[in-house]
Chain A
Amino acid sequence: MIEFKQTQIGYNQLLINLEALTLQSGKLYTIIGRNGTGKTTLLNTLLGIVQPIKGEIYINQKNTVLLKPKEKAQLVSHVPSLFAGVQNLNTRDYIAMGRAPYTNFIGKLSPKDWDLVDSIIAKLNMEHLALKDTSKLSDGERQIATIAKALTQQTKVILLDEPTAFLDYANRMSVLKILKQISLEMGVCILQTSHDLELCMEFSDTILVIDSIEKKIVPLEAKTCLKSEIVTIAFR
């Protein structure tokens, strides 16, 4: 669960003013907005890379500003829009990196950690890719592997920065299906940014539309809202 309390987001100048907004566990949220209106800045603020200009953000009742990096990594995980793959790093070892916030200074994984990694690989039907080199995966497979890495991190919140930007239609569908499934089955709060209006309306619970003129976020129910409604707010 993410709570914004009188939070002002932006680098130096204000981009988004969040009076009060609560994002629930077990739901999939999609942020829609023009380029440069603060989508990525909002994610970076949640990740602690950018500090809020004013106000506070609580993740599972914990004030994010006060968290140590390791504690934060146990609460929030992040999926970038592109992971290019690394030569000689296989998919299973890559996914297992998600355990890093829980291991000691040497970083050795326990058998229990490996069981968790393998169960997540099985859950996402990736067994056939487990020993494949990450540099030899397709873009879609790599993105799902990155989501699997976020899952091994066992966080209550997963943030995704345009996770489908580099994928074809079929892969976009499968990534969004997986996200929906994760939010429902594992009770995770998922927040993604996207430019993919139609697909996100189909799979998200709530669309968070950035109104760049009023500098605020308008939450709309994905099931009941109209595309024209989103477009008029986001792109007027």
Chain B
Amino acid sequence: MTKSYRSVSYAILGVLIIFAWLHLNGGRMEFHFSEIWNSLFNFSDQNQDLIIYREVRIPRTFIAIIAGAGLSIAGLLMQTLFSNPLAGPSVLGITSGSSLLVAISMLTGISFFASDYGIVAVALIGAVIFSLIILLFSMFVKSHVSLLLIGIMLGGFTNAIIQVLQVSSKATQLKVFTLWGFGSMQQVSFSQIPLILAIFGLGIISLVFLIKPLNLLVIGEKSTRLLGIQLQQFRILIIVVTAIFAGLITAYCGPISFIGLAVPNIVKILYKTQNHLQLIIGSALIGAISLLFCDLIVLWLEPWILLPLNGVTALFGSPIVVWIILKRF
């Protein structure tokens, strides 16, 4: 059991490294070790190659890995918490919460929120608020489908407000927001990497405390409680960690759908386990691969057409989700 888990994980890690390398070199299999090294540690703004790596390619690959891993882990947490294989940060409206607050700060031009920290902060707050709303609803609705529908309605509701904001906003603000809404890995600069890493790291460290309750939650909430787990606290913590991942990524990459929903299901099929330590590692690896792959397609087609990333994730994600529904329900 653990043996197959190890070999599968190493194989996946190998694929991840290949994809990351391809992505880092603009979609081509080239080996510019010295440029990458120098762009990181001996940077000079006279050398154009170094500037490309430092300001464009390294941040883009970095955020694709972080976003793919984070969204997939967030999806896994939601699926286990609500014992629903179709749950995920975008389906349940958590991403919508971030989008709404980001839209308010981008489109109304309140300068307090326009800074880097401001956008991240409002995206996190939006994600937390909407997660708590979903958690509250989950205590009253018994059916899995109802909760998903409530999440989709939350998304519809926020979209309506965003559209009203869009109509009444200035052209420049509207352009910035629309590009953000397409989803993109190109909005992160080198100097933002430490902040992103710090917040992402906080989420990862919190996961350590969640593995035991997550492992037990698969047999139901009542049974988990009767095994001595104080579920109220953990439910909130699971929701907050999900919101950290979803909010952080939405702030920097826009609302990216399908990754958080599809990847954990693929991981469960590959790993055949309910051990959440393994599922979290698998989701992080396969999530990173999936988003790198989608962004590679964007990169490869760039000379001819500028694809929105959200279009690509949906193109691959929606058939996978339909396949999961056919298989599980």
Query: Do B228 and A70 touch (CB < 8 A)?
Result: yes
User: B227 interface residue, CB < 8 Å from A?
Assistant: yes
B224-258 contacts to A (CB < 8 Å): 225-230
Query: Do A93 and B228 touch (CB < 8 A)?
Result: no
Contacting B219 at CB < 8 Å: which of A69, A97, A106?
A97
Query: Do A86 and B219 touch (CB < 8 A)?
Result: yes
* A68 to B99 Cα, complex, angstroms: 41
Query: Do B219 and A94 touch (CB < 8 A)?
Result: yes
Query: Do B215 and A107 touch (CB < 8 A)?
Result: yes
Chain A: CB-nearest residue to B273? A88
Given the known A-B contacts A47-B226, A100-B229, A103-B212, are A83 and B219 also in contact in the complex, defined by CB atoms under 8 Å? yes
User: A73 interface residue, CB < 8 Å from B?
Assistant: yes
Given the known A-B contacts A88-B268, A106-B211, A107-B211, are A100 and B222 also in contact in the complex, defined by CB atoms under 8 Å? no
Total interface residues on A, using CB and 8 Å?
31
The proximity string for B residues 1-30 relative to A, scoring 1 for CB distances below 8 Å and 0 otherwise, is: 100000000000000000000000000000
Contacting A72 at CB < 8 Å: which of B216, B228, B275?
B228
* A71 to B227 Cα, complex, angstroms: 10
Chain A residue contacts of B163, Cβ below 8 A: none
Chain B residue contacts of A80, Cβ below 8 A: 222-223
Total interface residues on B, using CB and 8 Å?
23
User: A77 interface residue, CB < 8 Å from B?
Assistant: yes
Contacting B218 at CB < 8 Å: which of A78, A89, A106?
A89
Query: Do A89 and B227 touch (CB < 8 A)?
Result: no
User: B208 interface residue, CB < 8 Å from A?
Assistant: yes
Chain A residue contacts of B170, Cβ below 8 A: none
Chain A residue contacts of B229, Cβ below 8 A: 69, 100
* A94 to B219 Cα, complex, angstroms: 8
Most buried by B among A71, A72, A89: A89
* A168 to B129 Cα, complex, angstroms: 48
Query: Do B226 and A106 touch (CB < 8 A)?
Result: no
Chain B residue contacts of A106, Cβ below 8 A: 208, 211-212
User: A38 interface residue, CB < 8 Å from B?
Assistant: no
Query: Do A86 and B226 touch (CB < 8 A)?
Result: no
User: B144 interface residue, CB < 8 Å from A?
Assistant: no
User: B300 interface residue, CB < 8 Å from A?
Assistant: no
User: B272 interface residue, CB < 8 Å from A?
Assistant: yes
Q: A45: shortest Cβ distance to chain B, in Å? A: 13
Secondary structure dominating the interface of B: loop
Query: Do B227 and A98 touch (CB < 8 A)?
Result: yes
* A165 to B212 Cα, complex, angstroms: 31
A46-105 contacts to B (CB < 8 Å): 47, 49, 68-74, 76-78, 80, 83, 86-90, 93-94, 97-98, 100-101, 103, 105
Query: Do B272 and A100 touch (CB < 8 A)?
Result: no
* A80 to B209 Cα, complex, angstroms: 27
Query: Do A73 and B226 touch (CB < 8 A)?
Result: yes
* A49 to B229 Cα, complex, angstroms: 13
Q: B235: shortest Cβ distance to chain A, in Å? A: 14
Chain A: CB-nearest residue to B218? A86
Q: B83: shortest Cβ distance to chain A, in Å? A: 9
Query: Do A89 and B228 touch (CB < 8 A)?
Result: no
* A115 to B173 Cα, complex, angstroms: 64
Given the known A-B contacts A83-B219, A94-B219, A105-B212, are A69 and B274 also in contact in the complex, defined by CB atoms under 8 Å? no
Q: A142: shortest Cβ distance to chain B, in Å? A: 11
28 pairs from A and B in contact (CB 8 Å cutoff): A49-B225, A70-B228, A71-B228, A72-B228, A73-B227, A74-B228, A78-B223, A86-B219, A88-B271, A88-B272, A88-B273, A89-B218, A94-B219, A97-B216, A97-B219, A97-B223, A97-B227, A98-B227, A100-B216, A101-B227, A105-B208, A105-B209, A105-B212, A106-B208, A106-B211, A106-B212, A107-B212, A153-B227
Closest 9 CB pairs of A and B: A107-B212, A73-B228, A70-B228, A101-B228, A100-B227, A89-B274, A69-B228, A78-B226, A86-B218
Q: Which residues of A contact B (CB under 8 A)?
A: 47, 49, 68-74, 76-78, 80, 83, 86-90, 93-94, 97-98, 100-101, 103, 105-107, 131, 153
Q: Which residues of B contact A (CB under 8 A)?
A: 1, 208-209, 211-212, 215-216, 218-219, 222-223, 225-230, 268, 271-275
